[in-house]
Structure 1
Amino acid sequence: MPKGYILAHITVTDPEAYKEYVIKDTPILEGLGGRFIIRGGQSEVVEGESYERHVAIEFPSYQAAKAAYNDPAYQEVMKIRHRTAKSTIIVVEGA
């Protein structure tokens, strides 16, 4: 069965307040089967436009990734990200 992923492209606008999001989202998403495989780090835009930070979270399946994103606990914590960053979030099935 193909794995599922949550891909996040983020530009943090309030770094100090964003720390709360990272502290709170990590245990929720890991508890729902997620494994952070990319989280920040060095990057370079070689084509197109981009955000400053990139995150990839692997899940056992596409359905598990969608369920994690829609989980009520995560949806509550997500409000912190909305206040402290600009982002694009994509749920995708792996090959």
Structure 2
Amino acid sequence: MPAAYAIARMFPPARLHDDVLEYLERIQETLDPFGGRFLVHGGVPDVKEGEFPGVLVIVGFPDAAAAYGWYESDAYAEILAKRADHIPSDLFIVEGVDADYDISKTAAELRRQRDSAE
């Protein structure tokens, strides 16, 4: 099974609220049971195309079930508002690809589908 990622774009406030600091102090304990670990935390992307206001957070999980398990867990629900009430953000979960993923095979299949539809 491929890894999965919780990815967020966040717009940190000028001043960190005590709730946010508590969230940061407690989040790792919500990730541990699901094998979650920070891959990027607060990184400011070097944008090469388009726009990306805010900062980037990426948390990796062994698979999608673990990522959803974490996000839907009682432990995370208990602290979520401490961040969400003070830091506007966009957050999503996405499944990665297998280690042997070959984009050229995907392109060939898309070409086949397009050509058969014409």
Normalising by the smaller structure, the TM-score range is 0.7 to 0.9
Q: Which has the higher strand share?
A: 1
Q: Is the 8 A contact 2:43 2:57 kept in 1?
A: no
- For residues 32-89 of structure 1, the C-alpha deviation after alignment (integer angstroms, 9 at most, x for no partner) is 2101111113323333443422111111111110111000110110010111100111
What is the TM-score normalised by the length of structure 1?
Answer: 0.86
Q: Which residue of 2 aligns with 1:2?
A: 2
Q: Which protein is bigger by CA-based radius of gyration?
A: 2
SS of 2:85's equivalent?
Answer: helix
**Structure 1: runs of 5 or more not aligned:** none
How many aligned positions are there? Answer: 95
The counterpart of 1:40, out of the listed 36, 39, 42, is: 42
Percent identity, please: 33
Distance change in 2, residues 1:51/1:15 (3 Å): farther
Q: Aligned pair 1:21/2:15, yes or no?
A: no
CA RMSD of aligned residues (A): 1.6
Q: Is the 8 A contact 2:44 2:56 kept in 1?
A: no
Aligned to 2:110: none
Q: Give distance in 2, aligned partners of 1:87 and 1:4.
A: 19
Q: Which has the higher contact order (CA 8 A, sep 6+)?
A: 1
Deviation >3 Å, runs of 4+: 45-49
